[in-house]
Amino acid sequence: MIPGEVITIDGPAGSGKSTISRALARMLGFLYLDTGAMYRSVALAAKRYGVGKNDREGLSTLCKCIPLSFGTSRLPPVILLGGEDISAAIRSPEMDLLSSDISAVPEVREAMRDLQRKIAQGRDVVAEGRDMATVVFPSARHKFFLTATPEMRAQRRYAERLSRGESTDRDTVVRQLVQRDRQDETRQIAPLRPAREALIIDTTSMTINEVLDEITSKLRDKGLEILRAAAK
């Protein structure tokens, strides 16, 4: 049983969930829990410490021992491995795929699930990921699943990469996105899928504000007090 208000936002890559989750957390003054960043950090640590993506025992030990710290006071949160800020390093195309690979390992999922629940304990949280509503916070009162066409999601990812000054081509971005989706949707444990009670929002032709409006109006309908107060 986890006290505090939990809003879950799940969905595939490029569905807009990070932008929306951050904006919502900022608007409500909730903690933003970026669980994708956690899997990415484990992936980066595995690479640095030479632990293979199929080495379940090694990954399990890594999850217990790595000196990771997830900041909760800034948006986007700062992530430290040892004393090093790895917030940018975890966003490379290599970590896109490696994080997806290691996220299929049961020991890694178990460790992340426990850590996510521990961080959220007693707090109001916007939790973003793939299995927030289905596995980690199944009793959350507010569940959203964002989606968009593969073309639009790839286009967003491509634009994001260009804006970071990375040289890439659109076909590579599309291929990697499709591969990652397939992996995340077909893995044995906690595959990417909407919870039965989640509101599915197709963001393909919506602006950020339109998505936020839809979510906040749902939250208001369901009696999220903080929004009721803000609307007065």
| Residue placing its CB nearer to ligand DC in the complex, 157 or 227 | 157
Q: Considering the rule CB under 6 A, would residue 36 count as an interface residue with ligand DC?
A: yes
Instruction: Candidates 20-28, 117-125, 129-137, 159-167: pick the segment binding ligand DC (CB under 6 A).
Output: 129-137
The reply on whether position 13 binds ligand DC by CB under 6 A is yes
Among 33, 79, 129, 224, binds ligand DC (CB under 6 A): 129
Please report, as residue ranges, which positions from 171 to 230 form the binding site for ligand DC (by CB under 6 A): 180, 184
Residue (116 or 227) nearer to ligand DC, CB = 116
Phi, psi of 84 (to 5 degrees): -90, 135
Residue count at the site for ligand DC (CB under 6 A)?
Answer: 13
**3-class DSSP string for the chain:** CCCCCEEEEECCCCCCHHHHHHHHHHHHCCEEEEHHHHHHHHHHHHHHHCCCCCCHHHHHHHHHHCCEEECCCCCCCCEEECCEECCCHHHCHHHHHHHHHHCCCHHHHHHHHHHHHHHHCCCCEEEEECCHHHHHCCCCCEEEEEECCHHHHHHHHHHHHHHCCCCCCHHHHHHHHHHHHHHHHHCCCCCCCCCCCCEEEECCCCCHHHHHHHHHHHHHHCCCHHHHHHHC
Looking at the Cβ atoms of 28 and 190, the one nearer to ligand DC is 190
Nearer of residues 16 and 129 to ligand DC, judged by Cβ: 129
Residue 161 engages ligand DC in binding (rule: CB under 6 A): no
Does position 99 bind ligand DC by CB under 6 A? yes
- Interface residue with ligand DC among 41, 100, 147, 176 (CB under 6 A) is 100
Query: Cα(41)–Cα(203) distance, rounded to whole angstroms?
Result: 27
Smallest separation (angstroms) from ligand DC to the CB of 52: 18
Single out the residue of 53, 130, 143, 161 in contact with ligand DC (rule: CB under 6 A). 130
The contact set with ligand DC (CB under 6 A) reads 13, 35-36, 39-40, 99-100, 103, 129-131, 180, 184
